[in-house]
Every structure is written in structure tokens, then in C-alpha cells.
Chains A and B, each alone.
Chain A
Amino acid sequence: MEKAALRERLQSLTSVSNVFPTARSHVRQRRELGAVAEAVESLDYRLLDELSAADARNVLSREVAVAGSAFPVLLDLPDAQEQLAGFARAGFNFFYADPSYESDSLEIRRARGGNGAVTRVLSADGRIALETRRLVVALVADVDDEAARLFFGRNNLVPIRRFQFGAPTWHVIADGGLATDVSLQLLDLDEVRYAEPDFIEHVNQRATQPSDPLVAQQWHLEVLGLPVVWPTHAGGEVRIAVVDNGFMVGHPDLDPDAASSGWFRSSPDGDDSLFIHGLDLMPDGDHGTACAGMAAARSNDTGGVGVAFDASLSLVACLPDQVGTQSTLARALAYAAEPTTEGVAAPGADVVACSLGPNEATWKMSNVLSDAIDFIAERGRSGQGTPLFWACTNGNFPISADEVCSHPKVISVGRSTADDSDDGSGFGPELAFLAPGVDVLIPSSDGAYSVTTGTSFACPCAAGVAALIVQQNRHMSATEVRDHMLGACDKIGDVPYVDGRNDTFGHGRLNAASALGVPQ
């Protein structure tokens, strides 16, 4: 997120006056909180007030004047009900305190049965955030550990740990003020890439296990470890763009976003294209439908699901008869990452997948296509870079002869089988990794599902996994997402991996569970 956008978000937070949480304890030790959660869900204000206030008075010492339960006030906040029930089940009770309580230090609050971590209860845009003294601070890339130590000292920050995300990012404690205020001050400094409070929030299990009837036949989902990932990450609030020749936009398992989708209508001679915003009259295409469905087919009790079934989906169609110019392809890719390039004010994609290209060994790249790839990888996502996945050749050729998949900013994906063999797609040092792409069951343009094979489908499979990673950590740059994926591959095949890679398997077969740090 851009500094300006982050600053705006932090400035929009407002403190909920005189409302504080009690000390947190496991709900099994305070059975009242389970009943509080149920009262929140049923909006039984009388019972809620009674149970919550009784619990607060029971937990807090006599020095704290409890004016009553704060749940009724918090329930007035937008979209608060589900969050508050979640907080209660997680062991948080909220009470109305005497104004003097706010001036007590966290240590005194803790000693009196209050919460010794939460400084304030904040809210904005329908989210309730419990502010602590902790922040996450990312410094610019050329700051080494010693310089970081000096920086933290100067700014009254105590580092707790350095995150292993690639960029220099630390978990720190703010010694000199409220975390939100300190973050805003840090955002003004050139050394800081971003700084934001590490709020305690209720993160709902939006996605659990899909009940779509064909999921059991989609072997690739199990191989990637997705069943253990989906309970927390299914791509929510992340946007995937698929660039292809055409799509069945009305497929029952696709739910594309018209505002960010568009297509390039070829001129009669196929040597130029006119951009058309939206999904109306977009060309159909089995290949594109399959790619889009692999990445983001919905969980809706119909058909199967995509890797990131909660992700937003942008469809970008070009070269409908597979004959056209690379400048049109370049425009389509740039549009996917940044719609303003075609004059459209819509959000750009967090992840882009493209599975177009010849299957012979050689593909020469024009300068404008190379510039488009650079643009996506460097300027997408407000400067963080948008990961761009590309299907390598299906032929058993060296990828080095394909100048597009050899572009250093392209993440080149080969296909793997259900039994984790390589299946003979492109090879060489340019291969990032393999992903499932042989006999995979994915959407087709007849509105149903079909079994199909190709690197074309391994590519959006990888893009779907990238969407889950971005959902977990929105601050990762395109390079960090790629490196994270490379480091999370399973070393399949009975072959040696030198420095973590092998020319036939790349870094191995992608593993979503490993990439998201979820035990399998």
C-alpha cells in the first residue's frame, strides 16, 4: 500500500471513548464470554449487558469503576456484530470505564485485571481495531541491520524481531507514544517504506472448505495443500487478472468484475485494436475460461473451485483469433495491472496470469512487450510490483529461446502431473517452478467442467497461489512474492537440486500450504 493511502487509512481511525477490553483469557475459563458471544449474535441487549458487565466486574479489581458493558455501544458501529462475537469467543470483554482509567499505564491496567496490551479501541470503515504498542516497520531496501538499530533508537522504537520477508521489516514496540500516532510520524521519514500499527482484529474464517461437488475430483487442489490453507486464505480482497483470447463470462463458476475487465477488439486487418471496457460482447474462449476458472472459480455449491475462490477476477481478452500484434498483447497486460493505461479508473490486479504464446521453441519479444512486463513488475500495485505469471512452452524445449518467458521479471511456470512428475514442458534456468497442469478438472466454455492439460493451466494455478500469499501479506513486492514461492516448493522428482533448483523442475512443485506457513 502506498504511504499516502496508509496515512489516510490511519488518519481515518477514531477512538471509541472510554471503552476498554478486560484482560483476555480463554473462553473456557470464562464461560460467560461464550454466552456473551451468543447474546451479540442474537442482539439480546438486556442479556448482553447483564452478562458482560458481570464478567467485567468479576475480572477487574475494585479500583476500576465499571460503568457497564460496552458491547451495546460497540454494536452501534457499522458491521460490528460478527466482529464482536468473534472477540468475545476469543476471550475479550469490553467495558465502559471511568474516564480516569484511560490515564492509567498499561502496567497498572494489567495489575487491576484490565488488558495490559491494548492502548485504545479504534474503529474505521466497519472494522474494530485494538491498538497495542506494537508496530510493523519496513525500511527502504538499502538499510542494513546496524543502520536500522540506530534508526530505531532515534525514534524510541524497540525491535522485537525481523521478519523474513526479504525486505528489511521489523516488529517493534513504540516507546514514545500511541502506535497509530507513531506510525503517522514514521510515514513522513524517507527511510521508512511503511509503518503501521499491529492491530488486534477479528479475522473471520471467511472461507472454510468448499462444498462444490467436483472438488474431490480436482486433484491439484489437494496436491497444493489448499484444504489446510482455505480456512484462513482463499484470496479475499485480492484481485487476479487473466489475460487470454476470450472467456465465457457467464460461466456459472466465474464471477468476473466488469469494472476492471475489458477486451481489445481487433481491427479488420488484425494489425491494431480498439479497447472496449467491461464484459459486454467479450469474445468467448474455452482456453481463457479454463485459465480463469483454475485461478478463481467460485465456491458456490456448483462445479468445482479455483485455487483462490474468494479472489476478485478481472478478465482481459485480446487477439481473439490468435493472430495479432505484440503491441496489443502489451496493452492488454498493462491494462490488467493498471487500467488507467487505457483510461479506465478501476483497480489494477494484484496478480496477473497469461498463458498465450507459441508452443515451438522460439518466441521473439518486441521492445514494447518487454516494456509492458517491466511496467507491471515495477509499477503495478502502486509501485510494489505485480507478480506476472506466464505459461512456458508445452514442448520439451529450452525456455531460453522464448524471450518472453526468459524475461527476468516474468515468473515462468511449467506443468506437473498428479504423481509429481514433470511431463516434459519447457526447461532451463528460466523455469521458476512447476504447478499442476496435467489432466486437471477445470471450467470449460460449455458452462461445465472438463479435464485438460497444458502449462496454460499451471500458470493460473500459480497465480492463484500468489493471490493467497498477497492476501496474507499485502506488503510483499512482486519480487518477494516470487522468492517466497520459490522457497516454498516441494523438491519432487528423483533428481538433484543444486542451489535449490533443477533445470527440469525449476525450484520444484509449488506448495501453497508451505508458502503460507500452514502445517500439512
Chain B
Amino acid sequence: MTPVDDVAAVPPSLVGEIDDEPTVEPAGSEEFRASGWRFIRGDADRSGLRAVFRDRAGHLSIEGATVVVRFDDDAGDQQIDEVLRRHHLAVRRPMRFVPKGFQVVFEGRPAKGQLMRISEELEKLDCVRYADPDFVEEIGQR
């Protein structure tokens, strides 16, 4: 996926804070806008904004608020706690269908792109099988 650097996504809960900002309408954003998301210029400097991505097929995705981390089967509770604490992450919920899998959130309001960077750092650790940032995407009906 490629970052769409010139656009930032505003979550519905923050839309009230951008009344004075001109919005943009990137291609493929209709469903997101229908769900309450707004898009503004990407160089806007405001916490809580989300990075926007586009895949090769043109689908738009927005950086989510959580990361799903699956630790190695041998990882101990103490080691998991330590890794999460070091990255300012807290467990939102265990993913009970994923061994050693957790959905985690950043403690505080993450800066735009911050969860992407944290996921990349986690993926470099031997005790982490994967760390996927959640993306908000359009999942339609067939």
C-alpha cells in the first residue's frame, strides 16, 4: 500500500474540530464520507488525524486506531507486557482465536502514521510473529 501523502483523514469524532479547514474528496472516498469521515490536506498539523493509503487496485484505506499483534508461541506474559509497555501500547482485548494474539491501542492520541511506525518496529522483534495495523476500509457486499 502506498501512502497518500497529500491527504489526511479526520475521524468522525474529530470532524467538529476542523470546521475551518477546507476538505478534499479523494477518489474512492465516498463510502468513508458517508460514514462521517472527512479528508483534509495532508500537511495539516493536528493530533488525531489519520494517514491515508491506496493499494495497487486503487482502494482507499485509513489508518485505524488499533494494532493486532501476534506474539511467538514461546513468548511469556512478562515479555509481552514489556514489549507493549516499551511501545506505549495497552491491550484492548485478547483475540481469543489467535494464540498469543492481542488487539492493542496506543496510550494517548497517536500522531498521524504513528501506529504504522510502531507496527514496523514490532515486526522487527524476534518474539513477534506479526503486527498488523488495523485499517479502516470499505468492505462491501457481493
Q: Which residues of A contact B (CB under 8 A)?
A: 244-245, 267-272, 287, 319, 321-327, 329-331, 334, 338, 340-342, 355-362, 364, 366-368, 371-372, 375, 379, 391-394, 401, 454-456, 459
Contacts A324-B136, A326-B137: A272 and B57 contacting too (C-beta < 8 A)?
no
B interface residues, how many (CB within 8 angstroms): 40
> How far is A276 from B136 in the complex, measured between Cα atoms in Å?
20
A and B contact pairs by CB, cutoff 8 A, 9 listed: A271-B134, A323-B35, A326-B135, A338-B97, A357-B139, A358-B140, A362-B57, A372-B97, A375-B98
Q: Which residues of B contact A (CB under 8 A)?
A: 1, 11-13, 31-32, 34-37, 55-59, 62, 64-66, 68, 70, 92, 95-98, 101, 103, 129-130, 132, 134-142
A215 to chain B, nearest CB (A): 25
Most buried by A among B65, B96, B130: B96
| Contact indicator B66/A271 (Cβ below 8 Å) | yes
| Contact indicator A322/B68 (Cβ below 8 Å) | no
Most buried by A among B70, B140, B141: B141
A243 to chain B, nearest CB (A): 11
Contacts of B141 in A (CB 8 A): 244-245, 287, 322, 355-356, 454, 456
| Contact indicator B13/A366 (Cβ below 8 Å) | no
Contacts of B103 in A (CB 8 A): 272, 327
Most buried by A among B32, B58, B66: B66
- Residue in A272, A331, A355, A362 whose beta carbon sits within 8 Å of that of B142 in the complex: A355
| Contact indicator B64/A359 (Cβ below 8 Å) | no
Contacts of B68 in A (CB 8 A): 327, 366-368
Contacts A358-B59, A359-B140: A323 and B32 contacting too (C-beta < 8 A)?
yes
Chain B at the A interface: mostly helix, strand, loop or mixed? mixed
Most buried by B among A267, A368, A455: A368
Residue of B nearest to A404 (CB): B139
| Contact indicator A366/B97 (Cβ below 8 Å) | no
B74 to chain A, nearest CB (A): 17
A302 to chain B, nearest CB (A): 26
B53 to chain A, nearest CB (A): 11
> How far is A360 from B139 in the complex, measured between Cα atoms in Å?
11
> How far is A415 from B81 in the complex, measured between Cα atoms in Å?
48
Residue of B nearest to A328 (CB): B134
Contacts of A454 in B (CB 8 A): 141-142
| Contact indicator A331/B134 (Cβ below 8 Å) | no
> How far is A447 from B140 in the complex, measured between Cα atoms in Å?
23
- Residue in B37, B55, B139, B140 whose beta carbon sits within 8 Å of that of A326 in the complex: B139
| Contact indicator B31/A323 (Cβ below 8 Å) | yes
Residue of A nearest to B32 (CB): A323
